[in-house]
Amino acid sequence: MAIMAMKGLSVRSANIADLRNHLTKYLREVRAGEEIVVRDRQRPIAKIVPLTVDDDSADDAALVASGFMRRAQRPLRAAFWRTRRAAVTVRSAVAAVSDEREDR
């Protein structure tokens, strides 16, 4: 593992084979704030940097990263919050569910 000086910062670097063999160790270092430069035959090809999340929980960031959630492109309009819901009584909701279950 070599140390490279980039823009006055100390950055770790690793060859692909070493990264593959010690991935958990390198990811632990990235979580701690380190940056890792990935090299292919001593030539830098990529950089692994810590993910910074602004005002989001780690769970939200994980959902976005896995593709199960998207971030909003713009805030909801104020009118969205004023939209009235349909008036459904508990009795009519229970009756609808009961009817649906009887049809099966």
What pLDDT does residue 6 have? 43
The reply to whether 17 falls in a domain is yes
Rounded CA-CA distance 49/12 in Å is 11
pLDDT score of 56: 61
- Predicted pLDDT at 63: 86
| Domain, as residue range, for 57 | 2-66
Q: Concatenated DSSP letters for 17-56? A: HHHHHTHHHHHHHHHTT--EEEEETTEEEEEE-PPP-SS-
Query: Is 59 contained in some domain?
Result: yes
In a domain, 8, yes or no: yes
Looking up residue 47, the CATH number of its domain turns out to be 3.40.1620.10
Distance CA 37, CA 18 (A): 12
Query: Could you tell me if residue 11 is inside a domain?
Result: yes
Residue 50 maps to a domain: yes
Is residue 103 included in any domain, yes or no? no
| Total domains in the fold of the chain | 1
Per-residue pLDDT 10s for the chain (104 aa) are 444 444 445 688 999 999 999 999 999 998 888 999 999 999 999 999 987 766 567 788 888 888 899 888 888 888 888 878 788 889 999 999 999 998 77
81, two tokens: 């919050």
Instruction: Answer whether residue 90 is part of any domain.
Output: no
